[in-house]
């Protein structure tokens, strides 16, 4: 494939790639669909700084001017933040048309994984992965993130599955798809806003080096696909589980009443939950994203070593 036909690197990301420095991919739907402006832009820039402080180079990924951009300038991040939900959410199925139409697109977990693998980036930090929505047994509403994790060899550092989803069913699907789930420093799988979900961690790893060894073993053995690195939110930023669960229940009920479905459901629910919790969920979201970026940088550096 002619990489330059579809992919462009920022000066910082391109230099890191040429010089063999560790890179960490960052998604852009957090900017466009995850938070209001200007908090989204401030958070995106702060997360990039966390990656740099950890010894790696950040590469925020988006679709701009008919190209997959690996690394964005501050002005591009600001433009994307201002555009907000006017940007297209780009997953695997949306990528060809977004490039052909030169659409401004913010990459989802799946879209970012594809771009990261094209760019040779092995580690990606996000907030939470998509999964099986509640009631997916009947609706079949299951995120493309899961199938992407089964096929694309990029490790995804997250605070678990987004809290609005069915965590148990998502973990069952990840097992079926053969995706390793490594929980960092805890015996229980995290629940995004909360440190625990009630589901036992199938594999606990206590250091970034241990995670890096597991990832290298997986890929050296030719076992294609990614891995979920579940990183609990720091205890001081954990949200009250009852407050969050009550907010989720209210948001889900209102979404069903209004007929909000498909790509609109996650940003709608996150916005509603932030409103109901008086901004507490947003504070927790920002803290866990920074925490994930720090761990991703440490893993990326360990993989290089």
Q: What is the pLDDT of residues 92-151, one digit of tens each?
A: 999 999 999 999 999 999 999 999 999 999 999 999 999 998 888 878 889 999 999 999
Phi/psi of residue 57, nearest 5 degrees: -115, 125
Q: Residue 31: CB partners within 8 Å, gap ≥ 6?
A: 40, 41, 43, 44, 60, 77, 80, 81, 106
| CATH number, residue 291 | 3.40.1790.10
Please give the model's pTM, rounded to 2 decimal places. Answer: 0.93
Q: Among all residues, which ones are annotated catalytic?
A: 27, 162
Which helix (H) or strand (E) segment is 70 a member of?
A: strand 67-70
Residues shown for the chain? 305
Number of domains in the chain: 1
pLDDT at 204 over 80: yes
For residue 268, what are the domain limits?
3-304
Q: How confident is the model at residue 190 (pLDDT cuts 50, 70, 90)?
A: very high
- Bin 55: left if φ > 0, else alpha if -120 < ψ < 50, else beta: left
Q: Mean of the pLDDT values across residues 51-57?
A: 98
Q: Which residues partner with 165 through β-bridges?
A: 133
- 230, 264, 281, 235: which is closest to 125 by C-alpha? 230
Q: What's the DSSP call for residue 165?
A: B
Of 177 and 270, the structure prediction assigns the larger pLDDT to 177
pLDDT in tens, 26-50: 999 999 998 889 999 999 999 999 9
**DSSP H helical segments within 3-63, as ranges?**
3-6, 11-18, 29, 39-53
The pLDDT score that the predictor gives to residue 127 is 95
Tell me the torsion sign for CA atoms 57, 129, 192, 34. Answer: positive
The pLDDT score that the predictor gives to residue 263 is 66
8 Å CB contact between 87 and 27: no
Tokens of 104: 């401004």
Phi/psi of residue 92, nearest 5 degrees: -55, -50
pLDDT in tens, 235-266: 999 988 888 888 878 877 888 888 877 667 77
The pLDDT score that the predictor gives to residue 264 is 73
pLDDT in tens, 206-216: 999 999 999 99
Mean pLDDT for the chain?
93
- pLDDT above 90 as % of the chain: 78
Q: What is the number of alpha carbons within 13 Å of residue 14 lying toward its C-beta?
A: 10
Q: Mean of the pLDDT values across residues 168-178?
A: 97
CA distances from 82 to 68, 231, 289 (A): 19, 29, 20
The pLDDT score that the predictor gives to residue 236 is 96
Phi/psi of residue 101, nearest 5 degrees: -90, -5
- From CA 139, how far away is CA 157, in angstroms rounded? 28
User: Cβ of 111: how many Cβ atoms within 10 Å?
Assistant: 30
- From CA 41, how far away is CA 138, in angstroms rounded? 37
pLDDT in tens, 266-275: 777 777 787 7
- 224, 6, 197: which is closest to 95 by C-alpha? 6
């Amino acid at each position: 494939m002619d990489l330059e036909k579809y992919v462009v690197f920022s000066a910082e990301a391109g230099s890191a790639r040429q010089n063999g420095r560790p890179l960490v991919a960052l998604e852009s739907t957090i900017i466009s669909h995850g938070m209001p402006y200007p908090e989204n832009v401030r958070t995106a820039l702060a997360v990039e700084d966390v990656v740099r402080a950890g010894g790696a180079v950040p590469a925020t990924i988006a679709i701009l001017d008919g190209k997959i951009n690996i690394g964005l300038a501050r002005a591009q991040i600001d433009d994307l933040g201002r555009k907000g939900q006017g940007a297209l959410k780009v997953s695997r199925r949306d990528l060809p048309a977004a490039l052909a139409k030169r659409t401004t697109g913010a990459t989802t977990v799946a879209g970012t994984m594809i771009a990261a693998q094209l760019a040779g980036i092995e580690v990606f930090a996000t907030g939470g992965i998509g999964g099986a929505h509640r009631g997916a047994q009947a609706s079949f509403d299951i995120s493309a993130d899961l199938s992407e994790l089964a096929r694309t060899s990029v490790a995804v550092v997250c605070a678990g599955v987004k809290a609005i989803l069915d965590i148990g069913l998502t973990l069952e699907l990840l097992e079926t798809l053969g995706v390793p789930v490594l929980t960092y420093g805890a015996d229980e799988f995290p629940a995004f806003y909360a440190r625990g979900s009630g589901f036992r961690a199938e594999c606990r790893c206590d250091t970034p080096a241990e995670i890096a060894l597991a990832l290298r073993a997986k890929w050296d053995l030719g076992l294609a696909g990614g891995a979920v690195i579940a990183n609990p939110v720091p205890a001081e930023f954990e949200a009250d589980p009852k407050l969050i669960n009550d907010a989720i229940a209210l948001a889900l009920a209102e979404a069903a009443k209004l007929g909000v479905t498909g790509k609109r459901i996650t940003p709608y629910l996150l916005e509603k939950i932030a409103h109901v919790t008086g901004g507490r969920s947003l504070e927790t979201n920002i803290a866990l994203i920074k925490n994930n970026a720090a761990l991703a940088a440490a893993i990326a550096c360990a993989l290089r070593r």
